[in-house]
Amino acid sequence: MALISVGIDHEHASLDLLERATLPEHEWAKMLRTLVSHRNIHEAVFVSTCLRTEVVAVIDRFHGAIDEITETLADATGLDASEFEDHLTVNFEHDVASHLFSVAAGLKSVVPGEFEILGQLRRALELAIEEQSAGTEVTDIFQRAIASGRRVRSETAISRGTTSFAHAAASAAIDELGEELKGAHVVVLGAGQMATGVVKSLLSSSPPLAKLTVCNRTLERAEALRQDLNDERVFVDSLDAAHEHLRGVRLVVSALEVSAPVLSREHFAGYEGEVLIVDLGVPRAVASDVSDLANVRRIDIGDLRSRVERTLGDRREAIDAAGRIVAEDVEKFLADQRARGAAVIVRELREHFDGLVASELSRRAHDLEGLSAEQRETVTSLVRSVVAKIAHRPTVALKEAAGTDQGTRLNEATRNLFDL
């Protein structure tokens, strides 16, 4: 069996494909159950974020598993499997660790070092454990990757400054509008972690805005956020009523997961005032054709990525330091994995030989009846010594080759030769 990761991300797929391949959270459990029902997939964790849809799995056959994962993704998202072909990111065995540790460190995020990804990976693992699709192997690599991600953020300056989509989105809006934010009305769609970050950043902005309306599916959650903020400028309403707050709005920020746009072009038609839309959703919560309106300016994740890249100059050193920590933690993980792999096969081989010795001594006990207790102990010791010497070289070879392609071949050959 081997580790593999298969998926699409913002580095190798268009925003349009990522948008269409996003799976609502209530369908993740079904996705996991379907994955492990396949012949080649033994363990699986499904990771779904706004810019990443990915499966990390323990598999048998490489190509068979890729086909099964791709077909499952296609069925779940309603896409044709051929749409994934040129955009899949596939990592195998050792490369899975390098990839997943880098993701956890925020090195593969639009905003390097962002914190959201750690929570997303943790929730993905927790769901997989709950659905019993995560065994010891994927659980171990996820836990080690998350721990490495925390270490990166505590030992480097990668988290300095803009470290989340929420912060980056608010900064982009503030930079774009400048003094026009003074006395402005802002509408934020969503009341989750990302939306909360946006709201807090905007409320503390300078110049100060006059009013901020949070529209959320669950009004109670929006109300809880309003009470927590304790700011008289904050108002709340249901998501269905969001369009009723657009008249006179200067900025609309979407930070929620939806299967279809909440606001359409018709909602903005006939409104003469200029509007800036910052849409962090994948899929988009504000219909893409809204951008065709002359008075509407739109910033989405693609624009956000370009803005962040232009401001990374003073954080390159921290990013390099994070990369070194990831490389160190990956090597430590792989070394531990090699040691565990060798320990298992060596233990099984020794138990096999010990069993053979015990079985033969028992079977031939009547041949030793004429010997004294001391003589029988000498014979037993001699047999065990000979068997131990025979087992020594295979044991050393298995330990030395552990974690390499040769080690994998020796492992398989040993199991076949001794029927382990």
C-alpha angle with apex 174: 261 to 249, nearest 5 degrees? 50
Residue 45 in contact with residue 138, Cβ under 8 Å? yes
pLDDT confidence of residue 28: 93
Q: What percent of the chain has pLDDT over 90?
A: 37
Q: What is the mean pLDDT of the chain?
A: 87
Q: What is the band of 213 on the pLDDT scale with cuts at 50, 70, 90?
A: very high
Of the candidates 250, 256, 181, 174, the one whose C-alpha atom is nearest the C-alpha of residue 222 is 256
Task: Give the number of other CB atoms < 10 A from CB of residue 314.
Answer: 10
Rg (CA), the chain: 29
Residue 198 in contact with residue 226, Cβ under 8 Å? no
Q: What is the band of 302 on the pLDDT scale with cuts at 50, 70, 90?
A: confident
**Average of per-residue pLDDT across 184-189:** 93
Give yes or no for residue 265 having a pLDDT over 70. yes
User: Where does 165-310 sit in CATH, by number?
Assistant: 3.40.50.720
**Average of per-residue pLDDT across 327-334:** 93
Structure token pair of residue 52: 């990443």
Higher pLDDT among residues 91 and 310, named by residue: 91
pLDDT confidence of residue 402: 74
- Out of 31-45, 58-72, 395-409, least confident range: 395-409
Give yes or no for residue 310 having a pLDDT over 80. no
Query: Which residues 6+ apart lie within 8 Å of 341 measured at CB?
Result: 402, 403, 407, 411
Give yes or no for residue 152 having a pLDDT over 60. yes
Name the CATH superfamily for 2-155. Answer: Glutamyl-tRNA reductase, N-terminal domain (3.30.460.30)
Higher pLDDT among residues 414 and 66, named by residue: 66
- Out of 163-167, 169-173, 273-277, 333-337, least confident range: 163-167
Residue 410 in contact with residue 418, Cβ under 8 Å? no
Tell me the longest C-alpha to C-alpha distance in the chain. Answer: 110
Q: What is the band of 313 on the pLDDT scale with cuts at 50, 70, 90?
A: low
Structure token pair of residue 328: 């160190």
pLDDT confidence of residue 305: 72
**Average of per-residue pLDDT across 180-207:** 87
- 């993905």: which residue's tokens? 124
Please write the tens of the pLDDT for every residue from 124-151.
999 999 999 999 999 999 999 999 999 9
**Average of per-residue pLDDT across 1-15:** 85
- 């402005």: which residue's tokens? 184
pLDDT confidence of residue 112: 81
Q: What is the band of 116 on the pLDDT scale with cuts at 50, 70, 90?
A: confident
- One-letter-per-residue 3-state SS of the chain: CEEEEEEEECCCCCHHHHHHHCCCHHHHHHHHHHHHCCCCEEEEEEEEECCEEEEEEEECCHHHHHHHHHHHHHHHHCCCHHHCCCCCEEEECHHHHHHHHHHHCCCCCCCCCCCHHHHHHHHHHHHHHHCCCCCHHHHHHHHHHHHHHHHHHHHCCCCCCCCCHHHHHHHHHHHHHHHHHCCCEEEEECCCHHHHHHHHHHHCCCCCCCEEEEEECCHHHHHHHHHHHCCCCEEEEEHHHHHHHCCCCCEEEECCCCCCCCECHHHHCCCCCCEEEEECCCCCCECHHHHHCCCEEEEEHHHHHHHHHHCCHHHHHHHHHHHHHHHHHHHHHHHHHHHHHHHHHHHHHHHHHHHHHHHHHHHCHHHHCCCCHHHHHHHHHHHHHHHHHHHHHHHHHHHHHCCCHHHHHHHHHHHHHHCC
**What is the distance between the alpha carbons of residues 55 and 144, in angstroms, rounded to a whole number?**
17
Residues with a known catalytic role: 50
Give yes or no for residue 397 having a pLDDT over 70. yes
- Out of 48-52, 86-90, 274-278, 403-407, least confident range: 403-407
Query: Which residues 6+ apart lie within 8 Å of 22 measured at CB?
Result: 48, 50, 53, 77, 257, 282, 283
- β-pairing, 275-279 vs 296-300, is parallel
Please write the tens of the pLDDT for every residue from 9-18.
888 887 678 7
Q: What percent of the chain has pLDDT over 70?
A: 95
Give yes or no for residue 162 having a pLDDT over 60. no
The structural domains of the chain, with segments of one domain joined by +, span 2-155, 165-310, 343-418
Give yes or no for residue 419 having a pLDDT over 60. yes
Higher pLDDT among residues 301 and 171, named by residue: 171
Q: What is the band of 317 on the pLDDT scale with cuts at 50, 70, 90?
A: confident
Residue 51 in contact with residue 110, Cβ under 8 Å? yes
pLDDT confidence of residue 44: 96
- β-pairing, 41-49 vs 52-59, is antiparallel
Of the candidates 339, 333, 329, 332, the one whose C-alpha atom is nearest the C-alpha of residue 401 is 339
Q: Dihedrals φ, ψ of 103, to 5°?
A: -60, -45
Please write the tens of the pLDDT for every residue from 341-388.
677 788 888 888 888 888 888 888 888 888 888 888 888 888 888 988
